[in-house]
Structures are given as structure tokens and as C-alpha cells.
Amino acid sequence: MPTTSSPARPAAAGRMVAVNEMTRLIRLLFEVEREFVRTASTLVYRVGEPELKYLVCQHLWESAGHARFLRERGRELTTFGTNDAVRGSISRIFTEAVGRNTADPLVITAGFYEVLKPALLAAYRHYLKVTDPLADWPSKKLVEEFIADEERHAREIAPFLKDVDAREWKLHLTQALDDLGGWLGQETRLPLAAHYAWQHEQTPYTHPATCNRGKYPICSGVFGLDPTEDPIVRPWLTDPKTDARVIRLMVYVWLMMEMDAIDYLSTVFIETPTAPFDLHYDLARHLWDESRHSQFGFRQLPKFGVDLMTVEHSLDLYNILVQMPPHERYAMMTMEFEANSFPTKATVMDRVRELNDFEADTLLAFDRNDEQNHVRYGHRWLPEIMALFDEKRPTEQFVKETKDKFYQLAEIYGGKVPHSLPKEKRLTGEKILKLAGVSK
């Protein structure tokens, strides 16, 4: 008796179904991690506490690493895709999480860390439940490490958010995420109410005109010529008669002020949504390096008797650069500020070595090594960022004209931040002489 059967489907359609499903989840996880880096970077210049800035920079770098490893693993499997694009359903939620630039930055931080990242942790845990621990062992080991990182991120951020009332904002983001059923679609989907309003569609995000330094005193700049006014006296840095102990203290102030770089570099991510992931990956590394450099000064100065509440934070670079588009900001940072810092820093390093201070030598050596890499990043990525903004001038001409533009803008937007402290209270070159125990 003849038998009947259902129409046969192509063998290939079912042959790799197990791999294809895990690849689909890895792709989603990659996109979520990538979008966290692109959007949570807006927290850096909006939060005021330096320790929180440093922590967010660290987490951005670690998340960029997660995304890179997920992409590498995904490319070992079928159907991952050849581009780094993020689907609109994910991108829209992260763009919403950025909020308005007038919002309480700690409330916005809570949205990322108490809604979106816990959902990512749940997604990683779901992945472990549904994959085969032996067949998919390489992915399993990665995900186990990322779960540990996410759990640590939650512990590290908790002290900064313990008194923050973000219930309304967290509910708003939770509703958007519930519409997806979680990042992997593993939860029951709860469609958005008809009256749900996407804030970023009503009011697109713009950078604040100035960055936040919380409780710390501020000023326009810390470099100058008058030791009764400024903490870093430019001629003293290269004067062979300056005591090396004075130079060491001034360079620690200089390093701490690389917080400027943290603030303005972190503005670039959100404005380059179509950039290659590798560009954002290197930007995240650059940002984390600058964060560490700033910490060198932030942690060392108190060891030499400096009260950090007497060290004014300079705001000029952010205030000027935020007036420029991202490719111009990046050009000034890598091809002007960093590229031209090496001669002075070399002199400073040689002088500090006279003190036989191994810790100072180590910090300055790593700072120099990192800055050399940053200039390489500039040569690699500046042409690509220029292309994103349809900039067709030759790179050398573009950099020169951007520098000229910066100094024109400095006349308008620079030097506008008055000293928070009278010179009797703030750290100055004269006070550094006393702290170092020398006379000039």
C-alpha cells in the first residue's frame, strides 16, 4: 500500500537549526552590548562624581570587549552576518535610555544600570539554559565570564544609585523593553500601550553646553604663566632649574585634568551610530585609557598633601569642542592635543626620574605608551569619521583648518568659567612650591 508524506523541505533548512538558533542569540547579544557602549557613554560628561565617571568608562571598555568577543564567536558560526549594524528595535530602546540632557544624570544612570543591564544579565543566563554546554562550549565559557562581569557591574554601581528615586523613568524603559519580550525575546511580550511616548522622537538628545564636575571647584583652565594664579606654570615644566618635586606635582595635576578628555571624547559615540564597531571599540579603549590617566593624578595628589577640593577642574576644552562636530573634536584630540604633547612630556619624564620614584615613572611611562596608541588611532580612524560626515578635504588640510577653527571658537567660548575659589584657597604654583618643600 503506498504511503503519503508531507512535502520534504530542503535538507539544509533543518540541518543547522541548532547552530543557527544560537547564532541568532549571539547576534542579539552583540548588538545589545554594542548599543550600551554607544549610548551609555553619554553618562560620562553628565555625571559629576569623578569616581563614577571612571567607573562608567571602565564598564564601557569591558562591554566593548564583550561585544568584540561575541562578534568573533558569532563569525565562527553560520548566519551571524558580515556587518555590525544594530536592528532598530534594539537601537530605539537604547536611544530612549539616553533621555534628555536636562534630566537628572543619576536617574538616567539608573535606567541603564537597573533596567537595561539587568535585562542583559537575564539574557546571558537564558543563553546558558538553552545552549548545549559541550557542543557550544566556546560560547558557554564566554557567556559565563560576561555574567560575572555584569554581576560585578551591578555591585560597583550600586553605591552611586542607592538614594536615587528613578521609579518613573525605570518604568518607562521597562515598558519599552517588555514590548520586545526581553533582549532575546525570551519573555512573554507585553505590547506597548497606544499612548506610550518615545521621548527621543519628541525631543532629540543634544549634548549639554558644559560638563558636570559635581562638588568640585571649576575654572576655565589650569595652565598659565602666573604662579600666583595657576597650578601648572608652563615655563616651569621645561625649566631645568625647576625642582623635580615641583614638576612631579604639576604633572599629576595635568594627568588629573585628562578628565577633560574623558568628557569630550565620550560625546563622539552617540553621534556616530553608523560607524564600524571597530571604531567604537578603539574609542572605548581610548576613553578607558584617559580615565586611568586622570586617576593617576586623582589618586596620587592626596598622597603629597593636596586637598582635591582645592584643585579647580578646567572646563574650557569641553565647552569649546562641544561646539564642533564629532570629526573635528576627534581631530583636535588625536592630531593636535595628543600628537603635540610628547616633547614636553618627555622632558617631564626625564626630570621626574631624578626622584627615583618608581611609581611616578611607571605611571608616566604608561601614559606615554597609551598616548602613542591614541595618535595611531587618530591616523587610522580620522579619515573614516570624516567620511561619516561627508568631509572631503584632504586630511592634512582638514586638520589644519580645524585647528584654526578651534582657536576662533576659543575666543568665543573659552575663558568664560570664573574661578570657583579665590587664589588664596585654590591650588596654585606657589602652593605647589610649598607642598614640595622648595623655594623658587
Whole-number pLDDT of residue 427: 98
**Crossing angle, helix 137-161 and helix 50-75, to 10 degrees?**
170
In the 3-class helix/strand/coil scheme, how is 325-359 assigned residue by residue? CHHHHHHHHHHHHHCCCHHHHHHHHHHHHHHCCHH
CB contact burial 414-432 (16+ within 10 A = b; e otherwise): beebeeebeeeebbbbbbb
Helix (H, G, I), strand (E, B) or coil at 314: strand
**What radius of gyration, in Å, describes the C-alpha atoms of the chain?**
25
Tell me the pLDDT tens digit for each residue of 202-261.
999 999 999 999 999 999 999 999 999 999 999 999 999 999 999 999 999 999 999 999
pTM for the whole structure: 0.94
Q: How far is CA 147 from each of CA 118, 131, 144, 301, rounded to the nearest angstrom?
A: 10, 15, 5, 36
Whole-number pLDDT of residue 348: 96
Q: CA 46, CA 69: separation in Å to the nearest integer?
A: 29
Tell me the pLDDT tens digit for each residue of 138-188.
999 999 999 999 999 999 999 999 999 999 999 999 999 999 999 999 999
Whole-number pLDDT of residue 2: 44
Pairing type for strands 313-314 and 218-219 reads: parallel
Per-residue confidence of the chain (440 residues) as pLDDT tens digits? 444 444 445 555 678 889 999 999 999 999 999 999 999 999 999 999 999 999 999 999 999 999 999 999 999 998 999 999 999 999 999 999 999 999 999 999 999 999 999 999 999 999 999 999 999 999 999 999 999 999 999 999 999 999 999 999 999 999 999 999 999 999 999 999 999 999 999 999 999 999 999 999 999 999 999 999 999 999 999 999 999 999 999 999 999 999 999 999 999 999 999 999 999 999 999 999 999 999 999 999 999 999 999 999 999 999 999 999 999 999 999 999 999 999 999 999 999 999 999 999 999 999 999 999 999 999 999 999 999 999 999 999 999 999 999 999 999 999 999 999 999 999 999 999 999 998 76
